[in-house]
Amino acid sequence: MNVCPLDFRYGREEIKKIFSEEARLSYQLKVEAALAKAHAAVGNIAEKHAKKIAEKANVKYVNVERVREIEKEIHHDVMAMVKALAEVCGESGKYVHLGATSYDIVDSANALQMRDGLDIIENGIVALKKSLASLAEKYKDAIMLGRTHGQHALPITFGLKMAVFASEMERHRKRIQQCKEEICVGKMSGAVGSGAAMGEKFFEIQEKVMNELGLKAEIPSTQIVGRDRYIFVISTLSNIATSLEKFATEVRNLQRNEIGEVAEAFEKKQVGSSTMPHKRNPITCEQICGLARIIRSMLLPAWENAIQWHERDLCNSSSERFIIPHAFILTDWILFQMEKVFSSLEVYPEKMRENVEKSKGLPLAEAVMMLLVKKGMNRQEAHEILRISSLEAIRKGKHLREILTKNEKILSLLTKKEIEDALNADNYIGEAKKLVEMTLKNIK
């Protein structure tokens, strides 16, 4: 019986495999193999025993079903794994898990798991950034209204909007690199972090285990790796999710009938509504927004998991079984969905231009104000004249040009041709094109 929507609705198979029950077992067995090799390398056990343990430490010999069976009897998941591995190792089984505590295995395995998950997340970021960069390049000259507070502001280009998004994703790519540094840390220092059970060769054993796994050692640790590291990772995934919700919200708003400047692709047989045949809803962007909120909800338990009794309690264990796989799988999913939206986005430059024209010159009031200042008018006076003129144009439903060309103060400094040119959106996009080009160069 499937209960979680990850089982049947959301998530890609590649990353689901990494966070599957079998994969979790496989990562833990890999840590056990590394531990046995380290003991052999320092002379604690014979080489033949380390080889046998390493040979059997995989899901071909130690399967999920057997581990579950043992756990039902002993009520300890890691010890169930240890017993399942030991029983297939013959006489070498007595050296399995030598000197280790459960979270030496769990946290080192978590690091391997999250490292592999972060690789997939990074690939998703790169793919999305590429699609955004392509849109930025293609539409760097497509003039549209900028909007602040939901109201018409100044003209921008659609390419500049996409360049802003692409630059944000490049910052997230760098943060994922930081996450790898933060999370690729394990431990083999025992029940309270002192390394006592490993004896005088503790540091050497721990170093060899971490080298084998491609991790750094947490020095010092308690029984667990510091959960501030996990907070960093979940926070970064939440940050990415927030950016994606922002992008998706922008698409949803620009797709509104009243604006109509972009739209999600709509497949030939796609249904928009069960009752309204005309509907063409931005459902992918809406899904992204909803799932981004679930990802961010993982932050609270991540923070609270860092609060432990003394050297460790067990409160983090159960919640981490939820938040780690869900945060990774859902972040990958909405990255994938967002890339699909932007790689197939329908963009309507003619509608953007139409909306600029419908604004009746009002978004260019600043351009006229700045021109008046250039001609010698006090900036504050120019602002007041344009404010009053804009309100008059709105009240009378007229183009701003009609109001300005009847103002004697303005006509004393500007010709009608200068006013007309100032009210042309093509003449007031600043360095938008150059900013796009700079961004594309910086994020390669």
Of 75, 149, 278, 310, which residue is the catalytic one?
149
**HSE, side-chain direction, 13 A CA sphere, residue 156:** 16
**HSE, side-chain direction, 13 A CA sphere, residue 278:** 1
Q: Give the pair of three-digit tokens for residue 148.
A: 């602040």
* Nearest-angstrom CA–CA distance, 141 and 440: 15
* Nearest-angstrom CA–CA distance, 423 and 356: 11
**Strand 185-186 to strand 346-347: parallel, antiparallel, or no bridges (unpaired)?**
unpaired
Minimal CA–CA distance to 244: which of 136, 115, 127? Answer: 127
CB within 8 Å of 388: residues ≥ 6 apart: none
Peptide bond before 349: cis, by omega within 30 degrees of 0? no
Indicate if 359 belongs to the active site: no
Q: Give the pair of three-digit tokens for residue 370.
A: 């700045």
Indicate if 194 belongs to the active site: no
Of 39, 194, 273, 412, which residue is the catalytic one?
273
> What are the φ/ψ torsions at residue 142 (nearest 5 degrees)?
-80, 105
Catalytic residues: 149, 273
